[in-house]
Amino acid sequence: MNEIGFGIVGGGMIGAVQAAAIEQISGAKLVAVCGRDEARAAEFAAKFGCASYTDYDQFLQHPGLQIVNVCTPSGRHADLGIRAAEYGKHVLTEKPIETNLEKADALIAACDRAGVKLGVIFQSRFLPAVQRIKQAIDDGRLGKLMVGDALVKWYRAPEYYADSWHGTMAQDGGGALINQAIHTVDLLRWIMGPVELAFAMKSALRYPHIEAEDTLVGTVKFQNGALGVVQATTSAKPGFKRRLEISGERGSIILDGDAISVWAIDGEDADTGEAEQLTDGSANPAAISNEGHRRQIEDMLHAVLENRAPMIDGCEGRKSLELVMALYAAANEGKPVKP
């Protein structure tokens, strides 16, 4: 296998998660990191054995750099991704693809113009339990879908929102929904299908000083006729594993964290499969595993080598943002909104 050079822009916690994942992938090599703080970038580079930069254009010219992993605050994803595409680099950006649909579309268009791959990190889709659920739904084993719920009752300590981009509209695009819950919202949209109508209410009860919400509750009607609930909060102390609950005419499946806790389908054994609890950011964002990232970054590597689209490309990564924007619009306008 040809070796593919990766470069990370943003040397924070998620950048370190991705760097550790890259180290585990055959044929992948982290060649450079770019950060605003020179000392932090140098420390990151020393830890992972790569070059460090503070100048983004110089970073993009690093020899052997082929894929840029954008691990910055969400509001910078489009600008940095577009610049990378202009240098002919493939782009793998963290979730969400951006903070609004206009900027997301600009990034997608720029990568299309440059003829480079664009991937969006939604690592939960790559987990075995999730793929098993998706296959069961696609095979029609639940029959007609009735209800699909995404429930994310997490907790973030006060320091998370102190002197930070978190909870700001410019850099986070919102609060608990677009940041913490979007992974589970993405799974809900991916498994249940497109949404026809959305309604929501939001508030900042625990952290009234932030610009965005710490709690949102929404309802959705899917195009297939099923109904659902979206619950997103960072105010539920001490924090609980996220849940994805899917019910159809032949039974129900529940995902707790990253493991299936309920598999109740007519005519099938109640086998929840091998438990695999990999990612638990319910109370501590630093507690997540890099396994999902490893699987998705490896897919991006093969997409480049095989000249195919990554499993979650820009258009696919945009879908969860579209639903998030509809829920925010519904909460702001006080009426149902069509995505």
Quote the pLDDT of residue 281: 72
Name residue 222's beta-bridge partners. 195
297-302, long-range: CB within 8 Å, 24+ apart, which pairs? 297/6, 297/18, 297/21, 297/22, 297/25, 297/28, 297/69, 297/92, 298/25, 298/28, 299/119, 299/126, 300/67, 300/90, 300/92, 300/117, 300/119, 301/4, 301/25, 301/27, 301/28, 301/67
Residue 132 has pLDDT above 60, yes or no: yes
d(CA 240, CA 282): 5
Q: Sign (positive/negative) of CA torsion 98, 99, 105, 109?
A: negative
Tens digits of residue pLDDT in 168-216:
999 999 999 999 999 999 999 999 999 999 999 999 999 999 999 999 9
d(CA 155, CA 276): 22
Tens digits of residue pLDDT in 259-292:
999 999 999 988 776 655 566 677 677 667 789 9
Tens digits of residue pLDDT in 224-247:
999 999 999 999 999 999 999 999
Instruction: Extract the tokens encoding 243.
Output: 């849940």
Residue 28: pLDDT band with limits 50, 70, 90: very high
Quote the pLDDT of residue 137: 97
Q: Which of 160-164, 314-318, 332-336 has the least mean pLDDT?
A: 160-164
Contact of 198 with 333, CB cutoff 8 Å: no
Q: What is the mean pLDDT of residues 311-334?
A: 98
Quote the pLDDT of residue 163: 76
Q: What is the mean pLDDT of residues 303-309?
A: 97
Residue 77 has pLDDT above 60, yes or no: yes
Instruction: Extract the tokens encoding 46.
Output: 């020393």
> Which CATH topology does 124-283+320-333 take?
Dihydrodipicolinate Reductase; domain 2 (3.30.360)
Quote the pLDDT of residue 293: 96
Residue 91 has pLDDT above 80, yes or no: yes
Q: Which residues of 255-280 are buried (b: 16+ CB within 10 A; e: fewer)?
A: bbbbbbebbebeeeeeebeeeeebbb
**Model pTM score:** 0.95
Q: What is the mean pLDDT of residues 1-23?
A: 93
Residue 134 has pLDDT above 60, yes or no: yes
How many residues would you count in the chain?
A: 339
Q: Where are the domains of the chain?
A: 4-122+291-312, 124-283+320-333
CATH number for the region 4-122+291-312 comes to: 3.40.50.720
DSSP for 203-243 reads E-SS-TTSSS-SEEEEEEEETTS-EEEEEEESBSTT----E
Percent of the chain clearing pLDDT 90 (strictly above): 92
Question: Other CB atoms closer than 10 Å to residue 248's CB: what's the count?
Answer: 21
